Amino acid sequence: MSRTTLASSPFPSVLIIGVGLIGGSLGLAIRRTFKDVHVVGYDRRAVLKRACEIGAVQHAAHDLHHAVGIADLVILALPAREILRQLKSIAPHVPATTLVTDTGSVKREVLMAAQRFFPKGNFIGGHPMAGSERSGIEAAHPLLFENAFYVLSPMENTPERRTTKLETFLAQVGARVVRMEGSTHDAAVAALSHVPQLAAVALMRSAGKHRVASRHLPLGAGGFRDMTRIASSPFGFWGDILESNRRDVRHALKLYRHELDRMDRALRRAPRGLSKSFKGARELRAQIPAEMKGFLHTLTDVQVFVEDRPGALLKVLRALATAKINVKDIELVKVREGLGGTFRLWFESPAEAKRAKGAIGED
């Protein structure tokens, strides 16, 4: 999973404004990938101190306007509202040769503002589809973007060469980059990310209000736990997103509520009437390739059962490392305490997966 050689960075100097989970992880990933890049961070002093300690940045900037003036790439890794505020603040100090991008979860509003503040086309909207229930610099990890879907939304007047340059940079960091128009992005993530977050919160709260279920929450260790995992996300992160994308979220929420109402009516009349809903959902779900870790490239998976004992997983990974086989992603599918767990390992191609099976004795 680690890279054996370091590349030369197309952006010699990178300034990350906001060194939390996303910004800190980007800093770690950039420094891990490029041998000659200088990563500078701007945030609260305590955050910057910790970011320097873990190697996410090499230098802490205290004069933001000076820092943006000498950077080759500026990354705004901030909440949605703060991105809009900082765009206006830094724009007069950003040279036309410097590229600016953001990591916000909503794009339409940001692109409208950027069009005003960066008329020379040196802004590209960005959204890494990666995250964690945890937040802050302590949760940062250099592999957060490995094989993750990363949306880029260029402005109409952004030169193609600049978009291509940023695409290449992010791909080298490990992300799977795809371009998407801002309004299309916001409508899609409303249904595929924002409403699922609200649904997880609602499902958790409804269980908490249920007279019996609330006293037996440990029973929800299977599907309920999986469906409500993101209910642990802090509202501080989501408040700005829901505010900025409320129109698309409300539309997607209306469709979701309509489906719940249909189910309620079916339960009142004849529960077997839900069979068509189940069939339709299963057919739609099948359109999401099980082996796809992102939109651009299909990976091949191998499932491996690992016994519940110290060093068991390490033995598998060591065998793959010895055979010089790169694991693109790893996922714990199922665990049984005292027995072991099933891991899904993802590989670049069917041929690589076949080699992996031979290396770990799964043929």
Judge whether 291 lies within some domain.
Answer: no
Q: What is the pLDDT of residues 267-291, one digit of tens each?
A: 999 888 899 999 999 998 887 765 4
Same domain, 20 and 169: yes
Judge whether 284 lies within some domain.
Answer: no
Which pLDDT value is given to residue 198?
A: 95
Same domain, 52 and 168: yes
CATH number at residue 339: 3.30.70.260
Last residue of a domain, one of 125, 159, 180: 180
Report the alpha-carbon distance of residue 175 to residue 157 in Å, rounded.
24
Q: What is the pLDDT of residues 139-177, one digit of tens each?
A: 888 888 888 889 999 999 999 999 999 999 999 998 999
How many CB atoms neighbour CB 258 within 10 A? 10
Same domain, 91 and 152: yes
CATH number at residue 193: 1.10.3660.10
Domain that residue 68 falls in: 13-180
Same domain, 80 and 170: yes
Which pLDDT value is given to residue 291?
A: 47
For the residues of 261-307, what is the DSSP string, one character each? HHHHHHHHH-GGGGHHHHHHHHHHHTTS-TTBSSSS-B-EEEEEEEE
Same domain, 30 and 167: yes
Q: Which helix (H) or strand (E) holds 172?
A: helix 160-173
Rg (C-alpha) for the chain, rounded Å, is 23
Judge whether 138 lies within some domain.
Answer: yes
| Count of structural domains, the chain | 3
Which pLDDT value is given to residue 213?
A: 86
Residues of the chain with pLDDT below 70 are 1-5, 132-134, 289-299, 333-339, 362-363
Same domain, 170 and 199: no
Provide the greatest CA pair distance for the chain: 68
Judge whether 90 lies within some domain.
Answer: yes
Same domain, 245 and 353: no
Which pLDDT value is given to residue 306?
A: 83
What are the φ and ψ backbone dihedral angles of 144, each rounded to 5 degrees?
-60, -35
Q: How far is CA 316 from CA 75, 323, 331, 338, in A?
A: 38, 11, 14, 19
Which pLDDT value is given to residue 177?
A: 94
Which pLDDT value is given to residue 339?
A: 67
